[in-house]
Amino acid sequence: MDRLKAMNAFVRAVELGSLSAAARELHTTQPTISKLVAALEHSVGVRLLERGSTRVAATDEGLRFLDSARRLLEDYEEAVGELTQRTREPRGLVRISAPVALGELRLNRLMLEAMARHPQLQVTLMLDDRFIDPVQERMDLAIRIGGALPPDRVAHALAEWPRYLVASPDYVRRHGKPRTPKDLPRHDYLRYASPDDTVMLDGPEGALRIELPARYRVNSAVAMLEAVQAGAGVALQPSWMVSELLRAGTLVRLLPRWTGPAQRAHLIHAPRRRQPMRVQAIQDLLLATAPSW
C-alpha cells in the first residue's frame, strides 16, 4: 500500500464528504479510493470513516488522525519543494481562488505574465465570489475581499483600495459634475444589489452619510463597471477596477476629495512552516503588485 496516497485519499474524502468526490478530484475511481481508505484502516487498526449511501464522515478516531495525516502530507510536499528549490526555478501547479471581477480584470493577466516568466509553472485560477476555505477546497492561495478572516488560517494583508465616485465622459457631458456630495441625489446612482440606499463618504468635512436610492442594481462587479462605462450613471468603485480607466480618460472621477470606505483584501492559505517555491513565487508577486492596482 502507498501510505501517502492512502492518506491523501482519506483526507480528501473527509474534506469533500464523499468517496466519489475525492475520486473525481484525484482522477481515479470511487472503488480505488474505497480500497485505499480500507487498506489504511487495516494498517492503523481502527475505523476512520463512517460510510453512508452518498456521504462519508470521519469517526472520532478518524478526526484525531485527520490533523496528523494533513501535517504528514504537507511535510512531504515541503520536502519535495525544497528539492525543487535547488533549481531556483518555480515549477508545478499553483491553485488560486479569487473573486470573479478581480480575477477577470487583474489576476488573469498577472498569472499569464507569471507563467511567461516561469516556464515550468502551472496555474489554476478559480473565480468565485463566495468565501472559500483554501484547505477544504484544496487551494494553495485564496484572495478574500472583506468579511471576517478565518481564525485557523494564515492571512496576509494584500491591499487596501479606496473607492472613487466615477462616471463616463458622456454621462458628465449630459448631466454635469456634482460640486458637493449634496448634489449626488440629483444624479443617476448605480449600486450593487442590496436593499440599502446608504452611501458613506469621507472627505474634507469628515465622514458623511447620504441616502442615494438607485434605479439600477446589479450583483456583478463587472456588469456594474460596464454600466458606468456605458453612461448609465454614477457609481462608487474600488480603485483597482478604475485606475487604468481614469488614466486613459475612459472614466472621470467625481468629487476627487471624497472617497468611499476602503476595500480590504487578504491573501489566505493553510498554516505551514514554509510555502513550496511555486506557491511562494505567486504569493510574492501578489503581495508586491496588488497595492498599486
Domains of the chain with CATH codes = 3-85 (1.10.10.10), 92-293 (3.40.190.290)
Q: What is the mean pLDDT of residues 182-203?
A: 93
pLDDT on residue 88: 67
* β-sheet bridge partners, residue 163: 238, 260
Q: What is the mean pLDDT of residues 25-50?
A: 92
Q: What is the pLDDT of residues 73-109, one digit of tens each?
A: 877 876 776 665 555 688 889 999 999 999 999 999 9
pLDDT on residue 102: 96
Polymer length in residues for the chain: 293
Q: What is the pTM of this model?
A: 0.72
Q: Is 53 buried (19+), middle (13-18) or exposed (0-12) by CB count in 10 A?
A: exposed
Q: Using 50, 70 and 90 to split pLDDT, how confident is the model at 1?
A: low
On the question of pLDDT at 116 being above 70, the answer is yes
On the question of pLDDT at 133 being above 80, the answer is yes
- Give the least confident one: 69-83, 139-153, 157-171: 69-83
Mean of pLDDT over the chain: 91
Angle at 2 between CA 34 and CA 88, to 5 degrees: 120
Sign of CA dihedral 279, 283, 286, 288: negative
pLDDT on residue 87: 53
